[in-house]
Amino acid sequence: MNNRINQLFETKKENILSVYFTAGFPKLNDPVEIIQQLEKNGVDLIEIGIPFSDPTADGPTIQKSSETALKNGMSLNLLFEQLKIIRESVNIPLILMGYFNPVFQFGVEEFCEKCAEIGIDGTILPDMPLNEFESHYKETFIKNNLHNILLITPQTSEARIKQIDAASEGFIYMVSSASTTGAGKKVEDFQQDYFERIQNMNLKNPQIIGFGISDNATFRNACKFSNGAIIGSAFVKSFQPEVKIEDSVSEFVKSILSNN
């Protein structure tokens, strides 16, 4: 069975827009509407953040949204419950992103089975070591047609990148710089030599650049060096209490995709 992530990259090779949001933020019951509106406005791929109490790789915006979501009562059980009929209204690939601890607590096999049942296409679990994934969990993920997306950074060695490429399915998440997530970088802050080095390696998997992509300029610049880019903090920050979700999402996505 073909995975929706693979289908996306088979039909679209460039300017892929992936958007991250934290489940349960701004309000507990927002995830389904946010997902539906993102698809409706032309987003290609969605990363649904599983809130966690100790989000070490996240910048202040996503940390704060995670805290709010947990206070609102979000949990993995509740998120699965909210998403159980998501495939009746949404066709684009959906990825669950978070830390390994909540997945481990839930039970890795149960988690993968639940993802398959709902129609989740992949996971991004940055703190799960590759060797642990390959030796303990890879078969369970494959059995449930679930891609575990792996990350590389400017500090990742060439040998390690090749190892990650060999172990990857779907795409490789290229972290733009060695920092926490967060909007606000300028186009010139990105490490062009790193992007070019990866391009020249001719990896088998497509790549999407994330961390620090926040507007039309940084999105378009990242797309010059990869198949697309991921926007997280800037989108999370864009929600305003007085603005309806549909208006907020529409305005944000238009601002990213304008002239693209």
CA distances from 8 to 168, 228, 234 (A): 16, 12, 24
The predicted pLDDT at position 187 comes to: 47
Least confident residue range of 113-122, 144-153, 170-179, 242-251? 170-179
Q: Please report which confidence band the pLDDT of residue 178 belongs to, taking 50, 70 and 90 as the band edges.
A: low
The predicted pLDDT at position 193 comes to: 87
* Domain range annotation of the chain: 4-253
58 assigned to active site? yes
Question: 124-160 pLDDT, tens per residue?
Answer: 999 999 999 999 999 999 999 999 999 999 999 999 9
Report percent pLDDT > 90 for the chain.
85
Q: Which of 47, 121, 165, 169 is catalytic?
A: 47
Q: Bridge partners of 106?
A: none
Mean pLDDT, residues 99-114 taken together? 96
**Type of residue numbered 99:** Y
4-253 fold? TIM Barrel (3.20.20)
Q: Please report which confidence band the pLDDT of residue 191 belongs to, taking 50, 70 and 90 as the band edges.
A: confident
**How far apart are the two ends of the chain, measured CA to CA in Å?**
32
Question: 86-98 pLDDT, tens per residue?
Answer: 999 999 999 999 9
199/142 Cα distance (integer angstroms)? 27
CA distances from 56 to 62, 65, 166, 255 (A): 10, 14, 27, 29
Question: 44-77 pLDDT, tens per residue?
Answer: 999 999 998 876 667 788 989 999 999 999 999 9
172/232 Cα distance (integer angstroms)? 17
Tell which phi-psi region holds residue 186, choosing left (phi > 0), alpha (psi between -120 and 50) or beta: beta
**Where do runs of H (alpha helix) occur along the chain?**
4-11, 31-40, 60-72, 76-82, 100-106, 108-118, 130-132, 138-143, 158-167, 192-200, 216-224, 233-237, 245-257
Q: Bridge partners of 147?
A: 122
237/245 Cα distance (integer angstroms)? 13
Q: Which of 39, 44, 58, 165 is catalytic?
A: 58
The predicted pLDDT at position 52 comes to: 87
| 41 pLDDT higher than 60 | yes
Across the chain, mean pLDDT equals 92
pTM of the complete model = 0.94
The predicted pLDDT at position 215 comes to: 94
φ, ψ for residue 246, nearest 5 deg: -60, -40
Contact at 8 Å (CB) between 239 and 34? no
88 assigned to active site? no
Report percent pLDDT > 70 for the chain.
93
* Tokens describing residue 45: 């791929």
| 115 pLDDT higher than 80 | yes
Mean pLDDT, residues 102-117 taken together? 97
